Amino acid sequence: MRLDELPDPIFIARPHALARLAGELSREPIIAVDTEANGLYAYREQVCLIQFSTPQADYLVDALTLDDLSPLASIFDNPEIEKVFHASEYDLIILHQDFGFMVSGLFDTMIAARILGWNAVGLGSILEDRFGVRVNKKYQRANWGQRPISKEMMTYAQIDTHFLLPLRDQMKAELKESGRWPLAIEDFRRCSKVNSLNHPNGNGDCFRIKGAHELDPRQAAVLKELCQFRDRKARSLDRPLFKVVSDKTLMQIAETAPETLQELERINGISSRQVNWLGEGMLASVRRGLSAPPVEPARKPRPNSDYLDRVERLRNWRIRKARRFDVKSDVILPKDILYSLAEQNPKTKADLGLIMESVPWRLEQFGDEISRLLEVRR
């Protein structure tokens, strides 16, 4: 299908139109959903657009203009209405964060693609392979908080859901044919349990920055002050942290502790504009960090050799099993379950069942092998 043959999406920006849409969606057994947010342009990202597709039409809901999206809550929460997303985790997090929406009845086409062992699981690659549609990636980093939304951006947003319903039908047939449909149901349910993020902005944890654990305690104290300074700036300007100054630059400042603007200018990755704008504040942060108490990361107890041995055995088993299924290894056993098994070291089948309660298909299929691997008693 040529993209210029797509019907125009229906733009929803008034309460009465939203109420009518909610009524229409409530009568559909399956709908496709996606969101667009402004995370690259704001201190705290928010949902700007919610896309829906039914077999009859595509809809774009203006989440910034509408004050009350509560008519959609019962749609998302109704397990009798299947919601088809692609790579739903972030969408579910931000829908809950902004509106308190919880999603039941999930079908995730990226999860399905991974379970089927497809090599390319990005939506663009799948649409090109399955429908001959080539998506312009220009708008992946667009500012969805701007109004009005251009026609080209509307088309881009529309494509994200327009093909999901026929794609879901193809995938469900392949999942059933391969015997992996129960596994897909299991992972759809697990994915839908996601809750809101503990938002990284403002949490004061400098050790989330790559390489921060390698700093000495004095440098870490400087980094902490620099992070707090950057956070205040980003919040006041409503910008994402990286658009104020990058993590990498903060790390270099913490390591070298410049005392003057001239020394600050010599640091790689910092521009003259940033020095003029942020320089004095950065130097003040360095001075505060040098005089503050040293900062050390919370240290997790070093895992014992028995735990590490169980992790290694489970990983090796998972890799071997994944080769037979022709999938990525975490499809066989999700990482969180693997580490829970290694940490809790179940001694009985009942213990094993409790740990694998959220993955009953895997327990049935692989429980005996895992039991033998961990020497679980009957």
Residue 3 predicted with pLDDT over 80: no
Q: Which residue intervals of 179-328 are DSSP H helices?
A: 181-191, 217-237, 247-256, 261-265, 272-291, 305-325
Fold of 206-291: DNA polymerase; domain 1 (1.10.150)
Q: Are 99 and 69 in contact (CB under 8 A)?
A: yes
Domains 3-191 and 305-374 share a fold: no
Q: 203 or 141, which is more confident?
A: 141
Please count the helices (runs of H) and the strands (runs of E) in the chain.
Answer: 17, 6
Domain boundaries, the chain: 3-191, 206-291, 305-374
> Residue 118 burial by CB count (10 A; 0-12/13-18/19+): exposed, middle or buried?
middle
What is the pLDDT at residue 203?
66
What is the pLDDT at residue 353?
97
Q: Are 60 and 48 in contact (CB under 8 A)?
A: no
- Beta partners for 84? 32, 107
Which residue's entry shows tokens 């902005």? 201
Residue 314 predicted with pLDDT over 80: yes
What's the rounded Cα separation, in Å, for the pair 216 and 335?
31
- Could you give the angle at the alpha carbon of 313 between the alpha carbons of 312 and 319, nearest 5°? 85
- Beta partners for 175? none
Provide CATH code, domain 3-191: 3.30.420.10
Q: Are 239 and 199 in contact (CB under 8 A)?
A: no
DSSP secondary structure string, 276-301? HHHHHHHHHHHHHHHHSPP--PPPPP
Query: 56-99 pLDDT, tens per residue?
Result: 999 999 999 999 999 999 999 999 999 999 999 999 999 999 99
What's the rounded Cα separation, in Å, for the pair 180 and 185?
9
Q: CA 209, 214, 218, 223: dihedral to nearest 10 degrees?
A: -10
What is the pLDDT at residue 284?
98
Q: Are 158 and 58 in contact (CB under 8 A)?
A: yes
Please provide the distance, in angstroms rounded to a whole number, between the alpha carbons at the two ends of the chain: 57
Contacts of 8 (CB under 8 A, 6+ apart): none
Lowest mean pLDDT among 55-59, 137-141, 192-196, 357-361: 192-196
Query: 235 pLDDT band (50/70/90 cuts)?
Result: very high
What's the rounded Cα separation, in Å, for the pair 179 and 177?
6
Which residue's entry shows tokens 């086409």? 109
SS3 of residue 266 by DSSP: coil
Q: Are 167 and 336 in contact (CB under 8 A)?
A: no
Global confidence as pTM:
0.92
| Both structure tokens of 329 | 């290894």
What's the rounded Cα separation, in Å, for the pair 144 and 41?
9
What is the pLDDT at residue 153?
95
Residue 198 predicted with pLDDT over 60: no
Determine whether domain 305-374 maps to CATH 1.10.150: yes
What's the rounded Cα separation, in Å, for the pair 99 and 182?
31
Instruction: Report the residue count for the chain.
Output: 378
In one letter, which amino acid is 353?
A: G
E-only strand ranges, the chain:
10-12, 30-37, 47-53, 58-62, 82-85, 106-108
